[in-house]
Amino acid sequence: MHIAVCIKQVPDTTEVRINPETNTLVREGVKSIVNPFDAYAIEEGVRIRERLGEGKVTVVTMGPPQADSALREAIAVGADEAVLLCGRAFAGADTWATSLTLALAMRKLRPDVVLAGKQAIDGDTAQVGPGISCHLDWPQACYVSKIRDIRKGEAIVECLMETGKEVLAVELPAVLTVVKEINEPRLPSFKGKLRARKAVIAVWDDQAIGADPEKIGLKGSPTAVNRIFSPPRRGGGEMIAAASAGDAAKLLVAKIKELRIA
């Protein structure tokens, strides 16, 4: 079974700020990491291969040349091959254009199943996974918390919804996006790290995947960012000064009772 895993290199979002003067993102000194949700997708891909005892895992990312390191991290934890979709034509893509780009790469790779994290922690849209499957005219299953069974042509999965889990039989090829609950990603082994360092990573540009330049990157993106700004802060209130924890608790409970909701 050929398993493709779509990943994204993201800034460690806890560290991103806006420069109030230039109103641009300050990304200097901010660490780049593999999108945490994608780490679960990589792990699941490797586990499927191990469970079936055959197959290969290809990781794919669209990004700048530096995204190479994210692909190597995936190889270090068990992926077999990697493709970097890289080129100026891809730049500035929104979710529509990104999902088309990845879909074209999938058409070329022809995997049996595509895995991805449910969303990336920088954009938080959760739109690229379903977008890929629609561009390919494939079925999808989102928020997958367990793959009960997978073989060529079909997967049985559990999908996390707000009030429970839906059990789905999905015809393959399909795109499955996964949530944190699905597994616990392994750490890279020494051998894996060595393999990652030596790995040859394929680099494909827009021509390699036969993309229409009008439909990818900034040009192919229906949405555009109008403005970015720092979020308005809610003002802090009153600090309760109390001689003891007991006094503080008394004051808090009195405040809660005032609200008349308890």
84 binds other proteins (CB under 8 A): no
From 49-57, 60-68, 120-128, 185-193, span contacting other proteins (CB under 8 A): 120-128
92 binds other proteins (CB under 8 A): no
Which two tokens mark 219? 């040009």
From 71-79, 81-89, 178-186, 191-199, span contacting other proteins (CB under 8 A): 178-186
Helix, strand or coil for residue 181?
A: helix
Among 51, 107, 151, 197, which residue sits at the site for other proteins (rule: CB under 8 A)? Answer: 107
203 binds other proteins (CB under 8 A): no
Among 33, 62, 150, 174, which residue sits at the site for other proteins (rule: CB under 8 A)? Answer: 174
Which two tokens mark 206? 């827009």
CA separation for the pair 186, 205 (Å, rounded): 31
98 binds other proteins (CB under 8 A): no
Identity of the residue, 141 or 196, whose beta carbon is nearer to other proteins in the bound complex: 141
Identity of the residue, 191 or 227, whose beta carbon is nearer to other proteins in the bound complex: 227
Identity of the residue, 200 or 225, whose beta carbon is nearer to other proteins in the bound complex: 225
Environment class of 13 (CB within 10 Å of its CB; exposed 0-12, middle 13-18, buried 19+):
middle
At a CB cut-off of 8 Å and minimum separation 6, what does 23 contact? Answer: 227, 228, 229
Instruction: Report 221-260 residues binding other proteins (CB under 8 A).
Output: 221-231, 233-240, 242, 245-246, 248-250, 252-253, 255-256, 259
Helix, strand or coil for residue 16?
A: coil
The torsion angles phi and psi of 69, rounded to 5 degrees, stand at -70, -30
From 53-61, 62-70, 163-171, 186-194, span contacting other proteins (CB under 8 A): 163-171
Among 19, 25, 66, 197, which residue sits at the site for other proteins (rule: CB under 8 A)? Answer: 25
159 binds other proteins (CB under 8 A): yes
Instruction: Report 33-62 residues binding other proteins (CB under 8 A).
Output: none
Helix axes 68-76, 190-198, angle to 10 degrees: 140
Among 29, 50, 122, 192, which residue sits at the site for other proteins (rule: CB under 8 A)? Answer: 122
Q: Which of 61, 74, 40 is nearest to 188 (CA)?
A: 74
Count of residues that interact with other proteins, criterion CB under 8 A? 94
CA separation for the pair 166, 163 (Å, rounded): 10
DSSP single-letter state for residue 118: S
Environment class of 215 (CB within 10 Å of its CB; exposed 0-12, middle 13-18, buried 19+):
middle
Among 135, 144, 188, 217, which residue sits at the site for other proteins (rule: CB under 8 A)? Answer: 135
From 43-51, 67-75, 101-109, 193-201, span contacting other proteins (CB under 8 A): 101-109
Half-sphere exposure of 247 (CA within 13 A, CB side): 5
